[in-house]
Amino acid sequence: MKRLLPIAVAALALSGCAAMRDLSSDNPYEKPPFYAKYLNTGAPVDSHITRTLDALQQNPRSAELHNALGTMLIEKGFPKDAEVEFERAINSSRRYYPAWYNLGLVRASRGDELGAARALRRTVQLKPGHAQALFQLGLVEEKRQHVDSAVRLYAKAYAINPSLLRIDVNPRILDSRLTALALLRNYPATQTRKSMQLQGGADPNETPVEAPSPQAAAKNIVTPAPPVTDPSQQPAPKTPAVAPKPPAAVQPAPAAKPAPPAQPAPAAKPKPPAR
């Protein structure tokens, strides 16, 4: 009996190691998930989901792939499966803040305020200045009736990204009743910044403007005499000297043509004899 006990302990240890090894190597994407049967509509998102599932079969520890699959499942209409993918992304990389932010949005949409607040706070810790996360966390705090905390978060979000005040950029601003208080909180800093009359330095590409010449002293300024209006006192206008025209160039006379030679006089005809 004593000999069998060590053997049994060793067998249990080996079986436990084998079970742990199988669990660590388990790939949830070896079999198609249930929503795969709905990926036959021909929509581009369906093919993207299929390609991402194929990639996760090869690399199930990729936080980027899990997060990308979760965002597409939200678009497809599977929020619970999307939440699982965001959690898997965080388990793969605890500092991957996009998955924390997406997880906070999904949890807030289904009413898990505590879970959403935790995920959104973790987002801001990993990515300080994440204006969208600050605003979404403000919505959660306002819903929990934590007015002071919500106003502080809203004010910080608007100071970082003023476009969040626009409905076309951030439609959920209509869900808050504390926007005016947040703007009043930012008013002193905003007005101080806007009232500063700052001057820029000289533009190296701009042509420098010459300073005006200094004005002479009053005692050295000579007042010009008034113009003479009497025509008799006006000086006679000077006739402008006309420059003589240059002499025309002398053209040589044409050479005389030689006279034609004299022709001999014709001989006189003899008179006929008288009859």
In a domain, 187, yes or no: yes
Residue 68 contacts residue 52 (beta carbons within 8 Å): yes
User: Is the confidence at residue 127, as pLDDT, over 60?
Assistant: yes
The CATH number of the domain holding residue 96 is 1.25.40.10
In a domain, 77, yes or no: yes
112 and 146 belong to one structural domain: no
- Please tell me the total count of domains within the chain: 2
The pLDDT assigned to 233 comes to: 66
Looking at 75, 91, 119, the residue that finishes a domain is 119
Q: For 204-231, what is each residue's pLDDT tens digit? A: 666 665 656 666 666 676 676 666 666 6
- Give the mean pLDDT of 14-23: 35
Residue 124 contacts residue 133 (beta carbons within 8 Å): yes
d(CA 260, CA 78): 129
44 and 98 belong to one structural domain: yes
The pLDDT assigned to 41 comes to: 81
Which residues constitute the domain of residue 110?
31-119
Q: For 70-92, what is each residue's pLDDT tens digit? A: 999 999 999 999 999 999 999 99
Q: For 186-205, what is each residue's pLDDT tens digit? A: 998 776 666 666 676 666 66
The pLDDT assigned to 17 comes to: 38
Alpha helices in the chain (DSSP H): 4-24, 44-58, 63-76, 79-92, 97-109, 113-126, 131-143, 147-160, 179-195
Looking at 192, 208, 228, the residue that finishes a domain is 192
Burial bucket for residue 266 (CB in 10 Å: 0-12, 13-18, 19+): exposed
